[in-house]
Structure 1
Amino acid sequence: MEPTSGGFGILHIIFNMYWLWSLGRVVEQVLGRLRFTALYLLSALGGSVLGYLISPDQAAVGASGAIFGLAAAYFIFSRRLNHDPAGATRLIVTFLVWMVVSAGISSWEGHLGGLLAGGAVALGLAHLPRKQHLATTGGMLLLLIILVALKTSQLTGALI
């Protein structure tokens, strides 16, 4: 069964929307609209890139990767700000357990890629001076582009 088909597909979308509403509002308050958007999109892209690197023939959208990136960011900012209204450790453990449990029915690669990309960006945003935030997000984008280019050249036999 495809993850995007039937009842699971609808439930998957509903859960993503719930987490975007719950986590997204909190993370956006911390980061502001522009940095939040960058984090969200880089998490989605990171999920898609890891999916492409590991399973290039498997279709994936990236929305769940973005949500996993938000979970990582929530965890990191909760620790950085010493503020934990929703139990960040419990939340991240729940996301990690779901990633393992749902591995057979959804893109674990997308989930993990979003978690890693979002976590890396959030670490930079949380711990580097504000004037280095553009370099943090730009660096992640460049890394993801390079990884896709390398994988594509490997698949096509082209030399970059």
Structure 2
Amino acid sequence: MCCPAEPPSEDLMHCYRHPDRETGIRCTRCDRPICPECMVPAAVGFHCPDCVRNGSGTGHAPYANQPQTIAGGRVTADGRLVTKILIAVNLALFIAAQAAGNRFVDELVMIGYAYNPALGEVVGVADGEWYRLITSAFLHQEVPHFVFNMIGLWVIGGIVEPELGRFRYAVLCLLSGLSGSALVYLLDAPNQASLGASGIVYGLIGSWVVLARRRRYDMRPVFLFVAISLVFTFARPGVSWQAHIGGLVAGALVTYAMVHAPRVRRDLVQYGVCALVLLIDLGIVLARTAALT
């Protein structure tokens, strides 16, 4: 008769950085439980990201053997640094818009091709002002619009940035904003002005959906949030749905490539998909410009 197996010497614990993951390994320096993603090989056993970050007991300088995010980025102490910078840029432009008035906004707002009486000239992306595709994604004129987008950027950005790492997160935000502006340029009336960080915020929503699925979280609250966001997009008059959809699709596509890229070809796949999204945006802008001029 077979003897029953000996019970494990230690009950399974939960990773201190990922409470939903069980583990039987502890950091040999601070004794905190760590999951496989957080384990950093040391001379003896494994260390947690915090001990590695502080250079404690590793025999290396701080940031040696730096643990990586799910997308291959660096794990950092401040998971919202880029988000804070983006909010600061939006705030600076918002204050400038309030102080300088409509003329300042007219110079930066997303517009395809129109004659502006205030400036006394033809303006728009089709007239060579491609910078509007980016500047408009950080520009706000009304307080509720600014506050709503900044709350979305802070809350959802705080979820996405630590998962991707700072550089990849910054690329995601820029491509989401650009893709939202490109779709506005393609589908909206050429003389219709558009502004706001909604393309970036919806890009983060798309990214959040992919990350939640990758982490195997309960998707019901995620899908409910997306559904409510889309209802507001199409039900409220005056909302640039093109920016929302463009950002949402770009954010989801870029994040999918970042978190599902095979480890051996991670950089190639990630940068390749980002370049592809950029080329699609460029193709949209060139095609629309040719049609308008």
Shorter-chain TM band: 0.7 to 0.9
Task: Give me the whole-angstrom Cα distance separating, in 2, the residues matched to 1:62 and 1:49.
Answer: 14
What secondary structure does 2:192 align onto? coil
2:197 is matched with 63
CA RMSD of aligned residues (A): 1.8
Following TM superposition, by how much is the alpha carbon of 1:25 offset from its aligned partner in structure 2, in angstroms?
Answer: 1.0
Question: Aligned ranges for residues 7-156 of structure 1 at < 5 Å?
Answer: 9-55=142-188, 56-84=190-218, 87-102=221-236, 104-129=237-262, 130-131=266-267, 132-156=269-293
Task: Choose 1 or 2 for highest CA Rg.
Answer: 2
Following TM superposition, by how much is the alpha carbon of 1:122 offset from its aligned partner in structure 2, in angstroms?
Answer: 1.7
2:212 maps to a residue whose letter is S
Following TM superposition, by how much is the alpha carbon of 1:83 offset from its aligned partner in structure 2, in angstroms?
Answer: 2.9
TM-score, with length taken from structure 2: 0.48
Asked if structure 2 preserves the Cα contact closer than 8 Å seen for 1:43 and 1:118, the reply is yes
Counterparts in 2 of 1:33 and 1:84: CA distance versus 1, 3 Å? farther
Task: Give me the whole-angstrom Cα distance separating, in 1, the residues matched to 2:232 and 2:169.
Answer: 24
Task: Give me the whole-angstrom Cα distance separating, in 2, the residues matched to 1:25 and 1:86.
Answer: 20
Task: Give me the whole-angstrom Cα distance separating, in 1, the residues matched to 2:219 and 2:248.
Answer: 20
1:80 maps to a residue whose letter is R
Task: Give me the whole-angstrom Cα distance separating, in 2, the residues matched to 1:114 and 1:61.
Answer: 13
2:151 maps to a residue whose letter is Y
More helix by share: 1
2:239 maps to a residue whose letter is S
Counterparts in 2 of 1:62 and 1:42: CA distance versus 1, 3 Å? farther
Asked if structure 1 preserves the Cα contact closer than 8 Å seen for 2:175 and 2:250, the reply is yes
Any unmatched runs of 5+ in structure 2?
1-139
Task: Give me the whole-angstrom Cα distance separating, in 1, the residues matched to 2:289 and 2:205.
Answer: 29
Task: Give me the whole-angstrom Cα distance separating, in 1, the residues matched to 2:283 and 2:219.
Answer: 37
TM-score, with length taken from structure 1: 0.86
Counterparts in 2 of 1:84 and 1:58: CA distance versus 1, 3 Å? farther
Asked if structure 2 preserves the Cα contact closer than 8 Å seen for 1:121 and 1:137, the reply is yes
What secondary structure does 1:87 align onto? helix
More strand by share: 2
1:76 maps to a residue whose letter is V
| Higher RCO by CA contacts (8 Å cutoff, separation 6 or greater) | 1
Counterparts in 2 of 1:18 and 1:84: CA distance versus 1, 3 Å? farther
What secondary structure does 2:292 align onto? helix
Any unmatched runs of 5+ in structure 1?
none
Asked if structure 2 preserves the Cα contact closer than 8 Å seen for 1:45 and 1:62, the reply is no
Task: Give me the whole-angstrom Cα distance separating, in 2, the residues matched to 1:94 and 1:107.
Answer: 16
1:77 maps to a residue whose letter is L
Following TM superposition, by how much is the alpha carbon of 1:106 offset from its aligned partner in structure 2, in angstroms?
Answer: 1.7
